[in-house]
């Protein structure tokens, strides 16, 4: 039996996208801050010092957020469907409410870029 391009193309799309990990699975593990992108040079040194003290740790549907000068916070999270290589992470607060951040993963899921308010982007690396 010979399969034509009209049958093979959708089949190849299904095979290549069906094997890709879901965003939640791709986030699993510990991420530590490296630097900020898209900042004014006058803010870069202080912001990059802050970035190095930040971390995210994803385990199942739980996340622990650690940022400098604050106590670590834990809660649950969910992800949205990826679009154009990016997806949202919705952090659920234990007391109610939620925070949303847009994320892009790169370098074979070893780098995470988190969009921040004002256009700055926090670059994180996976450590485990």
pLDDT tens by residue, 15-58: 333 446 899 999 999 999 999 987 788 888 888 889 999 999 99
Residue 42 lies inside a defined structural domain of this protein: yes
Classify strands 121-126 and 111-115 as parallel, antiparallel or unpaired: antiparallel
Residue 34 lies inside a defined structural domain of this protein: yes
Residue 1 lies inside a defined structural domain of this protein: no
Residue 4 lies inside a defined structural domain of this protein: no
Residue 4 pLDDT exceeds 70: no
Residue 20: per-residue pLDDT: 66
Range 91-95 average pLDDT: 87
Collect all residues with Cβ–Cβ distance below 8 Å to 31 and sequence separation of at least 6: 55, 56, 57, 58, 112, 124, 125, 126, 127
Residue 96: per-residue pLDDT: 87
Residue 128: per-residue pLDDT: 75
Assign residue 91 the CATH number of its domain. 2.40.128.280
CA–CA distance, 111 with 45 (Å, rounded to integer):
21
Residue 12 lies inside a defined structural domain of this protein: no
Terminal C-alpha separation, the chain: 47
**SS3 for 85?**
coil
Residue 74 lies inside a defined structural domain of this protein: yes
Residue 117 pLDDT exceeds 80: no
Q: Are 125 and 32 in contact (CB under 8 A)?
A: yes
Residue 16 lies inside a defined structural domain of this protein: no
Number of helices (H) and strands (E), helices first, in the chain? 3, 8
Full domain range(s) for residue 32: 22-126
Q: For residue 36, what are the CA distances in angstroms to 10, 103, 112?
A: 40, 14, 11
Range 91-105 average pLDDT: 90
Tally of domains in the chain: 1
Residue 14 lies inside a defined structural domain of this protein: no
Residue 38: per-residue pLDDT: 79
């Amino acid at each position: 039996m010979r399969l034509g391009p009209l049958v093979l193309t959708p089949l190849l799309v299904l095979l290549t996208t069906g094997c890709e990990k879901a965003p939640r699975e791709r986030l699993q593990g510990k991420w530590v801050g490296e630097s900020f992108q898209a900042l004014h040079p006058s803010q870069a040194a202080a912001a990059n010092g802050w970035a190095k003290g930040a971390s995210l740790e994803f385990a199942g549907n739980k996340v622990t957020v650690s940022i400098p000068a604050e106590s670590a916070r834990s809660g649950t999270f969910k992800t949205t469907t990826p679009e154009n290589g990016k997806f949202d992470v919705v952090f659920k607060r234990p007391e109610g409410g939620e925070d949303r951040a847009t994320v892009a993963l790169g370098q074979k899921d070893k780098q995470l870029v988190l969009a921040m308010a004002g256009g700055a982007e926090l670059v994180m690396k996976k450590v485990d």
